[in-house]
Amino acid sequence: MPMSRRLARELALKVLYQHDLVGGDPERALETLCEEEAALPESREFARDVVAGVLGHRREIDDRIAAYARDWRLERIAPVDRNILRLGIFEILYRPDIPTGVAINEAVELAKVYAEEESSRFINGILGQLAKDLAGSAAVAGGGAPGGDASSSDGGAKGGAGDHSHGH
């Protein structure tokens, strides 16, 4: 059910953003948000899995962001952009049931709603380059791209235009 996953990603993003800025109990924050949004059980479960996965793999995910956003220190990337990237990278690397192109498109859509105008291009550029590199690595190893087909990059590995150090 796509709409339940879209809502789940929005809930997960809000919890990750809050946790990034002020800490706290992400499970409690998610439960509160799910109640406010009257989220369906499958949306709650998907959001819970995403939040737990991102937080559980945060070091590896942040290392990927740092590698691909070469001209940006992680802490200078706007918090909402940083957390959309975390969510997208988690889905690309750790959720083989989600096609890579879907993970990228969903992250870009989140950016269009929650981030600055240039952010969707910045996020697409980083996630697209990661997908391209993973597809190349898989091809060299004789396998396919993890999670499905890679989306094309529209911003380059250095990201799009604009200063992503702004707050949200």
- Cα torsion 45, 51, 55, 58 to 10°: value is 120
User: What are 56's two structure tokens?
Assistant: 């559980």
Which CATH number is associated with domain 57-168?
1.10.940.10
* 7-59 pLDDT per residue, tens: 999 999 999 999 999 999 999 999 999 999 998 999 999 999 999 999 999 99
Rounded to whole angstroms, how far apart are CA atoms 81 and 35? 25
Residue type (1 letter), 89: I
Distances, alpha carbon 38 to alpha carbons 7, 82, 130, 158, in Å: 10, 27, 34, 39
Q: Residue ranges of the domains in the chain?
A: 1-55, 57-168
Output the CA torsion sign for 97, 99, 105, 107.
Answer: positive
Write the Ramachandran bin of 13: left for phi over 0, alpha for psi from -120 to 50, otherwise beta. Answer: alpha
Q: Read off the pLDDT band of 142 (50, 70, 90).
A: low
Rounded to whole angstroms, how far apart are CA atoms 160 and 168? 18
Q: What angle do CA 52, 55, 61 make, to 5 degrees?
A: 125
pLDDT of 150 above 50: no
Q: Read off the pLDDT band of 152 (50, 70, 90).
A: very low
The pLDDT of residue 75: 87
Q: How far is CA 154 from the centre of its chain?
A: 16
**Alpha helices (runs of H) in the chain, residue ranges in sequence order:** 2-22, 26-37, 41-56, 58-68, 79-94, 100-114, 119-141
Q: What is the pTM of this model?
A: 0.81
